[in-house]
Structure 1
Amino acid sequence: MLFELDGGMNSNAASGQPVRIAIPAYGSRIMPRFGQAREFFFAEIDPVSRSLQQLQPRLWDLYSDPPVVRWLVREGVDAVLCGGIHPRFQIALVSEGVEIHWGFRGEVEEVVRAWLAGGCEPLGSLTPTGEENHSCPVRRLAPKPCSCRDQQGEKS
């Protein structure tokens, strides 16, 4: 995984190179469904300090850009942080070497900063090495407690 909560790092951390994370969005909020996103935020992360270096809005043009997965790979994305994501996008992204972390809601910058600080866990993750991280073996209907979510599932 890009970041281990216990301090482990990926290959980018060893080389000191920034990690690029794509976050599908509508306005300044995380888009609930990856497959419907046209707007993204690209976050540049320092893997050593686990800090947000830059957050830049980007638009994916459905008609002139390549399909979304190829576009993200072309743009140098290492991981996707999103709300929900269909299995076909999971398979396509992971086969291209892109990690996926899903189950996030709220304002993009707040969620990214909370995730980097270790205070906001995804509902699930999938890495190109096949490492899958779910808190339970079945699909959960309600999000687990997280500082980014209140009792109704979203920060007010």
Structure 2
Amino acid sequence: MRKIAIPTYNGKLWPHFGKAPQVTFITVDDNGNITGKELLDAPEHAHGAMVKFILEHGASEVLCGGLGMGAVNLLHQVGIELHAGAPAIDIDEVVKQYLDGTIQYGDSSCHHDGCAH
């Protein structure tokens, strides 16, 4: 079993990791089948808050759009596998593409465009 955390808003992947209003947690079994899906409100934006939140909810992977080097470093320090540069599309579709290996990754740096910054 593994748990994937996806920064979310309004049913879609949110393009800026640390400022996401919500996080969708997807649980996947050893055969790649989705066994659970949970949507939670994200913590207030603060240095390290999102990484701590994701750790507290047992995620071992993050699938996201853009994020800064501070978040990248923190995720690596705590052993969370990072898949950045994912498209800001419907959560179910991005998870399907990720699990079947067809996802098209783009720029994973954060430019603060499209994230209400």
With the length of structure 2 as denominator, give the TM-score of the two structures. Answer: 0.81
1:39 corresponding residue in structure 2: 22
Provide closer, same or farther for how the CA distance between residues 40 and 86 of structure 1 changes in structure 2, counting only shifts above 3 A: same
Q: Paired residue for 2:2?
A: 19
Report what 2:86 is aligned to: 104
Higher relative contact order (CA 8 A, sep 6+): 2
Percent identity, aligned pairs only?
27
Structure 1 runs (4+) deviating above 3 angstroms are 121-125
Query: In 2, distance between residues paired with 1:70 and 1:43?
Result: 17
Q: How many residues align?
A: 106
Pick one of 59, 77, 82 that aligns with 2:64.
82
Q: Kindly report which structure 2 residues correspond to 1:6-155, keeping only aligned pairs within 5 A, or say none.
A: 18-46=1-29, 48-62=30-44, 67-105=49-87, 106-123=89-106
Alpha-carbon separation, structure 2, partners of 1:73 and 1:100: 13
Q: Give the gaps of 5 or more residues in structure 1.
A: 1-17, 126-138, 140-156
Q: Measure how far apart 1:124 and its partner are.
A: 7.9
Assess if the C-alpha contact under 8 Å between 1:101 and 1:124 holds in 2: no
CA distance in structure 2 between the partners assigned to 1:45 and 1:56 by the alignment? 12
1:59 deviation in Å?
0.9
Q: Supply the RMSD in Å over aligned alpha carbons.
A: 2.1
The TM-score normalised by the length of structure 1 is 0.62
